[in-house]
Structure 1
């Protein structure tokens, strides 16, 4: 049974991360993926919107059709997809050698989590990255 990393490990991941790919990101400011990505950008992360349906820039960033199109190292792959759609995202994250997978609250895929861990990626599942960032780092980190 999958268990999320303890608070100190998640805090370390968030403190050290720079590039966050947001898979399933919307360009609609009313959508959760947009709001959370915007908050993470304001916290100092570089956001890489990943959604093949995005046409123009989102939060000032060029969108990508898939993770494999991104040419820069990705620290966190933040997933806003239905649980049953996670495996292909994790497979791409393994291909690009991302550092970690972060499945948003409500996104649960044990098989995908196992695949990621077997390939050396840190996995956080069924947790909101924005909430964890606020609780674990707050104002003390400069992020």
Structure 2
């Protein structure tokens, strides 16, 4: 996906559910979550055990998130991506974004077959900063 398409995707989003958002401030997922919050996005942590991450209520699964999700950002191993893709489809998400180092032909097929925009092996935080994107308001 080129920069214009990435920027358009990010600028059209408000809510980002981050699957695998760590409670550890030293972990990359925690740092990227903060980048997205700082850019104005409504970040929803998806963590099986945490009640809260980065001062925001966490949910054990995408199925339990009570609001519409624009982008599901994935910080899980590639072999878990296909399952997360199906959960994103079931949750009615608009896009599936696999973080840097994560790719999955199965996740791509699931996402694209259901009309989700698909991004893989790309850091959402670095892309947001590089393109100067802030979340749409309202």
Normalised by the size of structure 1, how large is the TM-score? Answer: 0.90
Matches for 1:1-143 after TM superposition, within 5 Å:
5-54=1-50, 56-136=51-131, 138=132, 142-143=134-135
Which portions of structure 1, spanning 4 or more consecutive aligned residues, are displaced by more than 3 angstroms? none
1:80 Cα offset (Å): 0.1
Provide, for residues 32-62 of structure 1, a one-character-per-residue CA deviation record: whole Å limited to 9, x for no partner. 00000011001100111001021x3211111
Provide, for residues 93-121 of structure 1, a one-character-per-residue CA deviation record: whole Å limited to 9, x for no partner. 00011000010000010111111011000
Normalised by the size of structure 2, how large is the TM-score? Answer: 0.94
Q: 1:74 and 1:111, CA in 2 relative to 1: closer, same or farther beyond 3 A?
A: same
- Alignment partners' CA distance in 2, 1:43 and 1:134: 8
Instruction: Could you tell me which runs of 5 or more consecutive residues in structure 1 were left unpaired when the two chains were aligned.
Output: none
Alpha-carbon RMSD across the aligned residues, in angstroms, is 1.1
Aligned residues: 135
